[in-house]
Structure 1
Amino acid sequence: MSNNQTLLDRSLRSVWHPCTQMKQHETYPLIPIRRGDGVWLYDVDGKKHLDAVSSWWVNLFGHNNPRIKDAIRQQLDTLEHVMLAGFTHEPVVALSEKLAGLTGLGHAFYASDGASATEIALKMSFHYWRNIGKTGKTRFISLQNSYHGETMGSLGVTDVAIFKDTYAPLLIQSAQVPSPDSRLAEAGESAEDFALRCASVLEQYLAEHHAELAAFIIEPLVQCAAGMGMYHPVYLSRARAICSQYEVHLIADEIAVGFGRTGTMFACEQANIKPDFICLSKGITGGYLPLSAVLTTDAIYQAFYHDATVKGFLHSHSYTGNPLACSAALATLAIFETDDVVHKNKETSARIFEKMQVLTDLPVEHLRHQGMIFSFDVQTANQQFSRQCYQAAIAQSLLLRPIGNTVYFMPPYTITEPEIDFMVKVSHDVVKAVR
């Protein structure tokens, strides 16, 4: 038995893989990865795969990045971890200062993953209103087709049936308002006009229900799990104004879209707004270590600052603000600063989208991009399109992970011109073959 097969058998016997019906691996084998370098993942047999999805949208500057590795290595020689309750350390303070400067919000609260960040923001919002005496504000709203994570609280504001329906009896109840996803606009209706129409529905809902609403949580500019649903930034502008008018918190879930993915450091910048909470994760450490953060306003922070312990935010986990993860995040932010990443991404984004025009000879629609997120929808009757597309692309050394009939690219920012050509050509061939 080969080392490859031995590893696969061991994994199937011992690991419960995420977002997976494990029985499917009887037919579709796992891919055992030995190492990564740049945009490439190398399996145990030496075959390489271009990571066009940044390993679930986390990798910004390529696998095996020397600057991030060196930062982690240096931190490892001094302090690997200390609890953040009653203690502090330089990496968490420096990172909090950096994030405050970038977001205009302060007092970063740390966790390990995006869903946990959503939980924190929801709890903070609810607890804030309770602390100031508005105890009736206990409910939340989100967009239709929204995704905010799969823990109990985050799943309560998620609107993706396959994740949510099984657990519905366990969840907080939330309401959804129409998504401004421009693919849903009427024929001849501009993305801006459609966004404004959706915002008017939001305004009507808040006018009627604001007394019971704690917060509106939204993925700025791109609803990723909805098949990269993209919308006009005017919706964010109106949402900010409407939430302010009716005293409802605005939570910006920038977990997937932050750190340069949408063309600016944070998506909210494109509407020139500041949310009441911002949730960050995924790319925050460049894809190296699990970390998430929630930042909020000084006014919200002050509502918890009290002699009574019960009025404090008593949320925690053992690895909060881990120094190694914070060091990776600081190195990631340093690359943005020294390498003018956001500006360079504009050039890369334009180049990728220009090359994607060759896809228009296929039955595709809504060819679109927002910064370094690229997507198109395939017109197909093939019920197995997503799985077959994944398998066919893997056979040609490309990692794609379609969402339904939506094919998307979210590659590391370090992708080169030949690698872009390879990514687009293989995608074209695969879609043509399996549609």
Structure 2
Amino acid sequence: MKSLSERDQKHLWHPLTQHKLHPKMLGIVKAKGAVLVDEHGKEYIDGISSWYTSVYGHCNDAIIAKVYAQMQQLDQVVFSGFTHEPAIALSEALISLLPQNQEKLFFSDNGSTATEIGIKMALQYHHNLGKKRSVLLAFEDGFHGDTFGAMSVSGLSVYNGPFEDYFIDVKRIPVPTEDNLGSLLHELENTMDLDAVAGFIYEPLVQGAAAMKMHKAEHLEKILKVVKSHGVLTIADEVMTGFGKTGRYFASDHMTEKPDIICMSKALTAGMLPMAVTSCTQKVYDAFYSDDIAKGLFHGHTYTANPLACAAALAGIELLTSEEIQKNIGRIIQWHQKFDAEIKDHPKVAATRQTGIIYALDLDVVMERYGNVRDKLFQHFMGSGVFLRPLGNTIYISAPYIITKDEMQRIYDSIREVLEKF
């Protein structure tokens, strides 16, 4: 009988994969808590929550129970012209969790569509008000998804190269640092034509795909104040950072200047089912509220506000706000701090950084993002029963909140081995 890995190769095309270089996929047959099990029975600690989604652990019993109960009541119904209890209950729960200026929610399917909708909201907001603003502002090295608007505002050419001639107009600025903040603010105030900019989209505090590049809340706050003073809508891409990873419910909670629009997905449904939400202020919504049908936001997805996904999200919020999960988040933060104190001065470590439960270290080696050394690192981790996906020379951890101390120590031990072997 053929293995899953062998059967996979006949028809499947995997994301972010050059199949000629990496033809073989590992078959996973089971997951529970922070552990994945492959078709040969080997276990792996999921150190990145399966792309930052399964933050309460895989196959969480509380989430399964809520989704199962919903499955017997209402599985799917079109969300244009109809509504249902799971979507309404989720809207109430989310609004109570989000920054206080958020009032309206627009459902979609994934992180890319969440940001795509945020971009469309910003562009059409000004159009509906009779203003010509067609430029978007974004950070260098940002990543916001793979649909065309999301690609346009993303700055990683490894993903976007073949499509760049077709993008919307985007101005890029560097991520703020102690050294460049003054010149950056001067550029925004005096050089850049912010009156032509419709929206500023940013990953608050942590740029995930840019190898967990981090910036300070007080620096971002100053940028937000400047752009908002020019009528630019601010769009926080919290697809990765949302739902507790930065130590607060949302990264935007670290600042007093709140975004006009927030994009959410990934941990929204705890890794159980695909769904996304783009929230906005009443001011943004009001620009679309009109007797003129053309001023409406004509965007939709078949599985918008799917009742099962809403049930999973509601169960996830219950867990996130529980005393147990909040204590677990605090423990993980402390574990990372202790580990960092141990290895940050190692001769093979170029730099370390941490925001909440997200921890990253850069190896002092020159390597390609998807090169042979990176592949060797990945194979080392998998060989030691740890699932981490290095980004170039950056090793990062974003483990489930329910991970045990022993499981986290296995991740740390595997990284220690890297520092001795590579």
SS at match of 1:167: helix
1:38-87 deviations in Å (ceiling 9; x for gaps): 11000111100111011111111111100011111000000001010000
CA 1:13/1:201 → structure 2, altered by over 3 Å: closer, same or farther?
farther
Q: Which residue of structure 1 lines up, in the alignment, with residue 40 of structure 2?
A: 45
Q: Which residue of structure 2 lines up, in the alignment, with residue 56 of structure 1?
A: 51
Q: Distance in 2 between matches of 1:291 and 1:195?
A: 37
Q: Which residue of structure 2 lines up, in the alignment, with residue 210 of structure 1?
A: 194
Q: CA deviation at 1:123?
A: 0.4
Q: Which residue of structure 2 lines up, in the alignment, with residue 73 of structure 1?
A: 68
Q: Which residue of structure 2 lines up, in the alignment, with residue 188 of structure 1?
A: none
1:90 matched to 2:76? The reply is: no
CA 1:271/1:320 → structure 2, altered by over 3 Å: closer, same or farther?
same
Whether contact under 8 Å (2:329, 2:357) holds in the other structure is yes
Whether contact under 8 Å (2:366, 2:393) holds in the other structure is no
1:185-216 deviations in Å (ceiling 9; x for gaps): xxxxxxxx3463364155236x6312211001
Q: Which residue of structure 1 lines up, in the alignment, with residue 142 of structure 2?
A: 146
Q: Which residue of structure 2 lines up, in the alignment, with residue 23 of structure 1?
A: 20
SS at match of 1:17: coil
Whether contact under 8 Å (2:353, 2:361) holds in the other structure is yes
SS at match of 1:64: coil
Code of the aligned partner of 2:173: V
CA 1:227/1:67 → structure 2, altered by over 3 Å: closer, same or farther?
same
Q: Distance in 1 between matches of 2:275 and 2:350?
A: 36
CA 1:116/1:382 → structure 2, altered by over 3 Å: closer, same or farther?
closer
Q: Distance in 2 between matches of 1:52 and 1:31?
A: 17
Q: CA deviation at 1:227?
A: 0.9
Q: Distance in 1 between matches of 2:367 and 2:172?
A: 30
Which has the larger share of helix? 1
Q: Distance in 2 between matches of 1:153 and 1:349?
A: 34
Whether contact under 8 Å (2:325, 2:402) holds in the other structure is no
CA 1:142/1:201 → structure 2, altered by over 3 Å: closer, same or farther?
farther
Instruction: Summarize the alignment of residues 5-404 of structure 1 with structure 2, pairs less than 5 Å apart.
Output: 7-26=4-23, 29-103=24-98, 104=100, 105-134=102-131, 136-180=132-176, 193-194=178-179, 196-197=181-182, 199-201=184-186, 203-204=188-189, 208-359=192-343, 360-381=345-366, 383=368, 384-404=372-392
Code of the aligned partner of 1:380: V
Code of the aligned partner of 1:244: K
Whether contact under 8 Å (1:195, 1:234) holds in the other structure is no
Q: Distance in 1 between matches of 2:187 and 2:26?
A: 44
SS at match of 1:24: coil
CA 1:315/1:202 → structure 2, altered by over 3 Å: closer, same or farther?
farther
Structure 2: gaps (5+ residues): none
1:139-195 deviations in Å (ceiling 9; x for gaps): 101001111111100000000010111111121121100112x5xxxxxxxxxx346
The share of aligned pairs that are identical, in percent, is 33
TM-score (norm 2): 0.95
Q: Distance in 2 between matches of 1:161 and 1:198?
A: 25
Q: Distance in 2 between matches of 1:202 and 1:240?
A: 14
CA 1:381/1:246 → structure 2, altered by over 3 Å: closer, same or farther?
closer
Q: CA deviation at 1:107?
A: 1.4
Q: Distance in 1 between matches of 2:229 and 2:166?
A: 32
Q: Distance in 2 between matches of 1:305 and 1:429?
A: 58
Code of the aligned partner of 2:200: F
Q: Which residue of structure 1 lines up, in the alignment, with residue 415 of structure 2?
A: 427
Whether contact under 8 Å (1:199, 1:235) holds in the other structure is no
Q: Which residue of structure 2 lines up, in the alignment, with residue 190 of structure 1?
A: none
Q: Distance in 2 between matches of 1:411 and 1:429?
A: 19
Q: Distance in 1 between matches of 2:407 and 2:122?
A: 44
SS at match of 1:394: helix
Whether contact under 8 Å (2:54, 2:400) holds in the other structure is yes
Whether contact under 8 Å (1:195, 1:231) holds in the other structure is no
1:83-138 deviations in Å (ceiling 9; x for gaps): 1000000111111111112222021001111010111001011111011111x111
Structure 1: gaps (5+ residues): 183-192
Code of the aligned partner of 2:246: T
SS at match of 1:75: helix
SS at match of 2:330: helix
CA 1:390/1:431 → structure 2, altered by over 3 Å: closer, same or farther?
farther
CA 1:91/1:240 → structure 2, altered by over 3 Å: closer, same or farther?
same
TM-score (norm 1): 0.92
Whether contact under 8 Å (2:225, 2:257) holds in the other structure is no
